Structure 1
Amino acid sequence: MTLQATPYKITLDISDTDRGVYESVKFIVARHPSETEIRLAARVLAYAIFYHPHLAFGRGLSDTDEAALWELDLTGEIQHWIDVGQPDAERVIKASRRAPHMSVVVYGNARLWREKVVPQFAHLTNVCVLALPQDELTLVAAKLTRSTHWGVMISDSQLYISDGDQQIALPLECWHGELPATL
C-alpha cells in the first residue's frame, strides 16, 4: 500500500513591508509522506517570503526536476525557482540557468553546507540563499496543523509569525546574494 500525501489548508495574512506586499492568501499544500514538519513549515514560510500571485508549490520530494516552489509567468516560463533545504551545488547551478531568479531557503544544521557548497556557486549573481534559524523554525513547525491560519509580517529582514496565541520572530539571514526587491 502506497502512503498518500497529507493535505494542509493554509491561510496566510502576509504583510511584507520590505517589498510592499499585503495579501491574504489561502492554499492547500501537500505534505509528502517522507517530509518532516520542519521542511513543510520551511516551504510555507518560503511561500510567504517570496509571495507573488503566480507562485506555486512544485511536486517537490516526489519530482526532483521541480522546485519546492516556483513562479511561472503567463507563458509557463519559470521566473523564480525556489528550493528548500540543502541542495547540492549542481542543482543550484542548473536551476539558476532555468530561471532569472533562484533562491534557496536553508534550514537545519547548515554550517558545513555553507562552507562546502556555497563557494561552488558563489559566482552566480541570480542566486539568493536565506537561512532560517533552527530553534525558531522548530517552534513554528510545532504550530503547523492541518488547518492553519498565520499572520506573517516581514520587516527589516525579520519574519514574524503569529497564530493568534503566540508570535515567533525569525531573523532572515542572507548567506549569498540579495533578496530580490520585487519579484
Structure 2
Amino acid sequence: MALKSTPYKFRLNLTDIDRAIYENLNLTVARHPSETEQRLTTRVLAHALWYHEQLTFGRGLSDVDEPALWQKSLDGRIEHWIDVGQPDAERLIAASRRSERCSLLVYDQNRVWAGKTLPAVAQQKNLHVAALPQEPLDALASDLPRSVDWGVMISDGVLYVSDENTQHEFVLEWLQGER
C-alpha cells in the first residue's frame, strides 16, 4: 500500500519590501512521504522569495519532469522554473533550457555538490542559485505543525520569518546570478 501525502496549511503574511509586494497567502502544500521538513520549508520559502500570483507548486518528488514550483504563462510556456535542494547539473541545464528563468534554492549545501555542479552550469545565464543558511532552516522546520502561520519579510535580500515563538533570519548566499 502506497503512503499518501500529508497536507500542510500555511498562512503567510508576505512583506517583500524589495519588490513592493504585500500579500496574505493561504497555501495548502502536500508533503510527499519521502520529503523532509527542511525540504517542505524550503519550498514554502522559495514561494515567498519568488512570489508571483501565477506561481504554483509542481509535483516535484512525484514527477521528475516538474520542479518544486513554477510560473506558467497563459499559453503554457514556463516563465519561471524553481527547484529546491541539490539537483544535478543535467537537471539544471535542462530546466534552464525549458524556461525563461530558472532559480534554485539550495539547502543542506555541501562543498562537493557545489564544486561539481556550479562550474557545470555557469554558462546558463538565466539560472540563479541561492543557498539558505542551515541553522535557521533547521530551527524553523523542526516540529513543523500541520497548520502554520508565518510572517515573512524580505528586505535587502534577507528573509525574516516570524513564527509564534521567534524570528528567524535567512541571509541568502548567492552562488550564481541574483534574485
Tell me, yes or no, whether TM beats 0.5.
Answer: yes
Q: Per-residue displacement from partner, 1:114-172 (whole Å, max 9, x unpaired)?
A: 11100001011100001001111101102631100100001111110001331010101
- Aligned pairs for 1:85-164 (under 5 A) are 85-142=85-142, 144-164=144-164
Contact 2:14 2:153 in 1 (8 A): yes
**Percent sequence identity over matched residues?**
55
How far apart, CA to CA, are the structure 1 residues paired with 2:109 and 2:121? 20
Please tell me the residue identity of whatever aligns with 2:70. Answer: W
Deviating beyond 6 angstroms after TM superposition, the runs of 4 or more aligned structure 1 residues are none
- Aligned pairs for 1:164-179 (under 5 A) are 164-179=164-179
Which segments of 5 or more consecutive residues in structure 1 lack a partner in the other structure? none
The Cα shift of 1:75 comes to 1.6
Q: Considering only aligned residues, what root-mean-square deviation do their CA atoms show, in Å?
A: 1.0
> What TM-score do the two structures reach when normalised by structure 2?
0.97
> What TM-score do the two structures reach when normalised by structure 1?
0.95
User: Does residue 17 of structure 1 match 2:3?
Assistant: no
How far apart, CA to CA, are the structure 1 residues paired with 2:145 and 2:76? 32
Which segments of 5 or more consecutive residues in structure 2 lack a partner in the other structure? none
The Cα shift of 1:56 comes to 0.5
Q: Which residue of 1 aligns with 2:3?
A: 3
Please tell me the residue identity of whatever aligns with 2:128. Answer: C
Q: How many residues align?
A: 179
How far apart, CA to CA, are the structure 2 residues paired with 1:125 and 1:138? 31
Q: Which residue of 1 aligns with 2:36?
A: 36
Q: Which residue of 1 aligns with 2:64?
A: 64
